[in-house]
Structure 1
Amino acid sequence: MPTLPATSPLPPPVFMPQISSALSPTPSPIPMPPTEKKSSASASEHEPSMESSKFPLPKLRLEIRDLNHAGSQMFLTAVMANAALATAVHSVLTLLYESPSCPTTTVPPTRSVTLVLRAMEGVAYTTGSDLDNDHKEIHFSLDYIQHSISSERKKHEIMGVLTHEMVHCYQYNAFGTCPGGLIEGIADWVRLNAELSPPHWKKEAGGYFLEYLEKRFGKGTIRRMNEKLRIEKYEEKRFWTELCGGPVEQLWKDYTKYLETEESKASEEECVLVEKEDATVPKTEATPTVAANEETNGSKSV
């Protein structure tokens, strides 16, 4: 049986592994089609009914180590624990898997997820039970909830962290050989598509790179990526070439070129807007100078 990640690994600065010898360059990236503007309401605000979901829910548990901690009260005020966990599960399963019976994607046998709220350093991590790896635990820092999230972003950030960590309860890791940065990149991609990305994220990060690949190579690319991590060990060159037609370093170059093009377009559009604003400002007539008057008077006296 394929193994699932026991913990949530720390990502390197860039999720790409060491650069290997490149294959022949792939064509320049095709322009990504414009996307429709997403609703401003996040997935956490909709909280779909899991009774009608095609995916079965695991057993969901909540463990609060310190009820008197201010972070506990903030968490319980911001979200309903059962709905928050159910929504996170729903987001992960619908984005990474087609359906429970689909032959092209295989949902792992996660049987329970326990959310543990406790005082600790960092933000959150996910681990499997020592007795049975199909039982997962998400440990979430009460200190982070209390001190590091502004009041207006409490619900959005809590849902974002829960969704990211829930991915680690359901994703594959190539029998323990997948780079930690790619594991984290997939989790960030799910969080991004659940409309729960935080404002400080930059597009040079792994989640946005995977979103670029999803748009460039078609819907379902990240699902196929996750499925490849289920059935085989990670070998960089073969993995990316079979999935996307070229080595990861070339794909990353294509992505950075795409970002530069988009940034240039944004700058040009901003300049056009400024020029239009300047054109709408009424111009005042110039007042003749004293020198011009003197010159005119002088010419008349000659």
Structure 2
Amino acid sequence: MKKLAVLLLTTLICGTGFAARIDTIKREGYTLIVSGNDEHFDDTIKQKLISTFFTVYPKIVKEYNKKSLKTVNFFIDTAYHGVAATDNGRVVFSVAYMTKHPNDIDVVTHEVMHIAQDYGDFDGPGWLTEGIADYVRNEHGVANPAANWKLPDYKPTQNYDNAYRVTARFLVWVETKVKKGTVKKLDSQMRDRTYTAASWNKLTGKSVDELWKDYSANPAI
């Protein structure tokens, strides 16, 4: 009975891919630990994930949060059906998504910015969190054109709180047309838990609604 239990446990572990190897890569003060539950995951894609991490993450840490984690975990997951998700220094990537979209490698850039953001349980606006992450992907991405990823053209149906690329484009406009350095200060305030709706007025002289109205009238970036 004991042998059967051990055999069953071994079968379950191997069957779910938990026997897959764990890669630990260290470069210039940063450590990336890569694991997963799909032993057949394309190694070329995995190497791109690793390369992108070491290209973009040190730059993001230097620019946005020098206290950010120096050890990060990537888990390549057959059970996750989104794109990717980040929590507490661990990024989960969908096997299905990355296999279908192998060129969308700057998912890494977006997700590791979430590590640098480190907003914890601060109840700040989610649209701004995701907008800043896509703003950074636009600024630091290594292969956005290959993934056909770009900021969308302005449309009257949009609003600043649509999050992701819509918000990111608005943030680019604020940086270039209103006040350079605003995004970094918003990011810092979110991390310090000092962000409020009044932050926009203090940083730019206008509310976010007033800024959006100006942006809507002349959205060129």
In structure 2, the residue corresponding to 1:170 is in which secondary structure? Answer: helix
2:113 is aligned with 1:146: no
User: Which amino acid counterpart does residue 74 of structure 2 have in structure 1?
Assistant: L
Number of residue pairs aligned between Structure 1 and Structure 2: 178
Structure 1 position 222, deviation (Å): 1.4
Highest relative contact order (Cα 8 Å, sep 6+), 1 or 2? Answer: 1
Decide which of 115, 136, 149 is 1:199's aligned counterpart. Answer: 149
**Is residue 174–residue 229 contact of structure 1 (8 Å, CA) maintained in 2?**
no
Q: TM-score, normalised by structure 1?
A: 0.53
CA distance in 2, matches of 1:203, 1:182: 19
The alignment yields a C-alpha RMSD, in angstroms, of 2.3
The equivalent residue for 2:21 is none
Which residue in the other structure is 2:71 paired with?
112
Q: Is 1:85–2:53 an aligned residue pair?
A: yes
Pair 177,145 (structure 1): closer, same or farther in 2 beyond 3 Å: same
Q: Structure 1: 5+ residue runs without aligned partners?
A: 1-49, 98-105, 129-135, 264-302
Write out per-residue CA displacement over residues 272-300 of structure 1, whole angstroms, 9 at most, x where no aligned residue: xxxxxxxxxxxxxxxxxxxxxxxxxxxxx
* Deviation by residue 1:229-282 (Cα, 9 ceiling, x = unmatched): 23333321x1111111111111111111112xx49xxxxxxxxxxxxxxxxxxx
How far apart in 2 are the matches of 1:201 and 1:220?
A: 20
Structure number having the greater helix percentage: 2
Give SS of 1:122's match: coil
Partner of residue 33 from structure 2, selected from 61, 66, 69: 61
> Are the counterparts in 2 of residues 172 and 227 from structure 1 also a CA contact under 8 Å?
no
For 2:184 and 2:167, how far apart are their aligned partners in 1? 16
Tell me whether 1:219 sits opposite 2:186 in the alignment.
no
**Matched residue of 1:169: which SS?**
helix
Matches within 5 A, 1:1-150: 51=28, 56-57=29-30, 59-68=31-40, 72-73=41-42, 76-78=43-45, 79-94=47-62, 96-97=63-64, 106-119=65-78, 120-128=80-88, 136-147=89-100, 149=101
Q: Secondary structure at the match of 2:116?
A: coil
Q: Residues of 1 paired with 2:218 and 2:177: CA distance?
A: 11
- Structure 2: stretches of 5+ with no match in the other structure: 1-26, 155-165
- Which has the higher mean CA deviation after the structures are superposed, 193-202 or 80-89? 193-202
State the structure with more CA Rg.
Answer: 1
Per the TM alignment, residue 88 of structure 1 is displaced from its structure 2 partner at its CA by 2.7
Cα distance, 1:172 vs structure 2: 4.3
Contact 2:122 2:190 survives alignment (8 Å): no
Specify whether residues 177 and 233 from structure 1 end up closer, same or farther in structure 2 by C-alpha distance, changes over 3 A only.
farther
